[in-house]
Amino acid sequence: MRAVANELSDMWVLAIRSVKRIPRQPDLLVGFTVQPVMFVLLFVYVFGGAISTPGFDYEDFLIPGILVQSMAFGGFVTALGLSDDLKKGLMDRFRSLPMSRSAVLTGRTLADISTNVIQLIVMLVVGLLVGFDFKTGIGHVIAGIALLLLIGYAFSWVFAFIGLTASSPEAANAFGFTFLFPLTFVSSAFVPVASMPSWLQKFAENNPFTIMVNAVRGLFLGIPVGHDIWLATLWSVGIAVVFGALAIWRYRRVVAR
Amino acid sequence: MVAASHAIETEGLRKRYGAVEALRGVDLYAEKGIVLGLLGPNGAGKTTAVRILTTLIKPDSGTARVDGFDVVREPGKVRENIGLAGQYAAVDENLNGFENLEMVGRLYHLGRHAARQRADALLAEFGLEHAAKRLVRTYSGGMRRRLDLAAALVARPPILFLDEPTTGLDIRSRIALWDSIEALVESGTTVLLTTQYLDEADRLAHRIAVVDQGVVIAEGTSDELKHQVGGDRLEVSLCDGGEADAALRALAAVGVGEPAVYDHTVSVPITSGRGTIAEAVRRLDEAGVAIDDIATRRPTLDDVFLKLTGHTAAEAEEEQG
């Protein structure tokens, strides 16, 4: 019992530590709120007119997609933070203390939930301002927000893995954007999959981002999405489990040097 | 070996990184309450030894015990009894001084209240009260090191590991840190200190192990080590090099070993610096030898290295890359 209490306490202490840095590094906060907002504005006012989304206003089509994308990238704060802790020797300090080993990772990813909440609020407000509208009841909207936060949490573990694998915070950033960015675009997030060349459609249809975006559309707009809500949940849990294991494996290796 | 009385004890520690053998069989021991200095150039293996002793990495072979606990089999017990501070000043730049110490206290599971009290006490002890609410990224190098040392002391560990605690600090900060370390030792803490500086080891360490290329090449008190390289010397620069013989005759009673003459300088081994210069000046004056400069010179790390390894510390550093 005591061990479990200590484990939770360690996780909490390190999560608080990560949360405290948000207002103290305003550049970081600006990075992960302004950038998605710029995306919303660019897509709605620049590309939106040229993209045809049968059955949807473009704002309604776009916002769930861009929310999923920004949740997925919210975790890059974790990659930067872990990479920084390694470089500055803080990881050594933590590992020389009689504390839980995994708290260094679980505390970080827990803290990401709070940054994702901030991001979500900013984006929903901007979304509503540009004309997005929920078409479902409060229960569905809350479920949709919960799913988005779950997606964000899952990708925090992807970024934890990246942060422990990359040689520097800068490399971690580049790494994340090079691989994840195209993946979010070859999905239903910004354009209907049907508008892509057929060889790409196959990929886009099975891209977990497409499934996640469809699930959020289902919950926010009330369109029929089949099993996508459950599939999106499964994908998120699966990503969290697989990358959680990978991150812990990397953590053991990287700190044992 | 009598394990019970030793705070730190290693036998045949080996660690290899790829083609580089960082440690090639290191035996160390430190009795409770002493400062053991690990002296050596960069890349000698000092930090690797500290990382093994603080459970950060595992040795390839050999054993290490800290406070009687095996670092590989009982790492948790070891961690409860050690503090680690080092050259990287591992503190969180985005927290203030108080928050850093409070965080470490809570990770030691002191409880919120006790962790805060301890943080306040340590900030006062290390003269950081005025900066308690300032973010660490605004701290000077010396302040960071003091905070780092304070963080290592949060749980009052009986054994402290200091990995090059003053490397890169200005002289005032170094002396302030030395004073803090001395106060700790007086209160009974055992310290393992790694350093590249002989003067630091000289001032702080009861016993010094000289490490080079992964092995301990000499061990003893500071005086014993200096004795191996010939001890202190009196160096006299003469106005006229032709008076060297007269100078040597005058200094015969002051010196204790083989004198050396080079350029305009006469160098004589001596036992103690106290009063030696006055005595030498008087004798040289009586003999009518005019001198340009006179000084006692203590052996440096380079002298120890040159004598022990045949190369200087700087050269060893270059070889290690």
Contacts of B54 in chain A (CB under 8 A): 92, 96
**pLDDT tens across the length of chain B (321 residues):** 444 568 999 999 999 988 889 999 999 999 999 999 999 888 889 999 999 999 999 999 999 999 999 999 999 999 999 999 987 768 999 999 999 999 999 999 999 999 999 999 999 988 899 999 999 999 998 899 899 999 999 999 999 999 998 888 888 888 888 998 999 899 999 999 999 888 888 889 999 999 988 999 989 888 788 777 777 888 888 888 888 888 888 888 888 777 878 778 888 888 766 788 888 888 888 888 888 888 888 776 667 777 777 665 555 555 443
DSSP assignment letter at B5? G
Contacts of B109 in chain A (CB under 8 A): 6, 9, 98-99
Interface probe with B: pick from A97, A104, A115, A251, most Cβ of B within 10 Å: A97
Domain ranges of chain B: 3-227, 232-297
Q: Which residues contact B136 (CB under 8 A, 6 or more apart)?
A: B91, B92, B93, B94, B95, B96, B97, B100, B144, B147
| Residue in A17, A90, A98 nearest the CB of B90 | A90
A101 and chain B in contact, CB less than 8 A: no
AA identity, residue A239: I
Q: Give the per-residue pLDDT at B100.
A: 96
Interface confidence (ipTM) of the complex = 0.86
AA identity, residue A95: R
Return the CATH number of the domain spanning residue range B232-297: 3.30.70.100
Q: What is the mean pLDDT of chain A?
A: 89
CB within 8 Å: A25 and B94? yes
- Structure tokens of A224? 């029929």
Half-sphere exposure of A170 (CA within 13 A, CB side): 0
Entry pTM = 0.82
Q: Give the per-residue pLDDT at B321.
A: 39
Bridge partners, B209 (sequence order): B38, B219
CB within 8 Å: B93 and A88? yes
Q: What is the pLDDT of residues B214-259, one digit of tens each?
A: 999 989 888 788 777 777 888 888 888 888 888 888 888 888 777 8
CA distance A20 to B51: 30
CB within 8 Å: A256 and B57? yes
What's the number of domains chain A is made of?
1
A81 and chain B in contact, CB less than 8 A: no
CA distance A92 to A89: 5
Q: What is the pLDDT of residues B155-168, one digit of tens each?
A: 999 999 999 988 88
AA identity, residue A84: D
Which one of 3.40.50.300, 3.20.20.70, 3.40.1520.20, 3.40.50.10090 gives the CATH number of domain B3-227?
3.40.50.300
CA distance B124 to B101: 12
Give the number of other Cβ atoms within 10 Å of residue A190's Cβ.
Answer: 21
Helix-helix angle B244-251:B276-286, to 10 degrees: 130
In A, minimum Cα distance to B135 occurs at A24
| Residue in A6, A17, A256 nearest the CB of B103 | A17
Domain span at residue A31?
Answer: 2-255
Q: Give the per-residue pLDDT at A113.
A: 92
Q: What is the pLDDT of residues A193-242, one digit of tens each?
A: 888 898 998 889 889 999 999 999 999 998 888 899 999 999 999 999 99
Exposed, middle or buried, B52 (CB in 10 Å: 0-12/13-18/19+)?
buried
Interface probe with A: pick from B57, B107, B136, most Cβ of A within 10 Å: B107
| Region class of A45: left (phi > 0), else alpha (psi between -120 and 50), else beta | alpha
Exposed, middle or buried, A23 (CB in 10 Å: 0-12/13-18/19+)?
exposed
Three-state SS at B267: strand
Helices (H) and strands (E) in chain A, counts: 11, 0
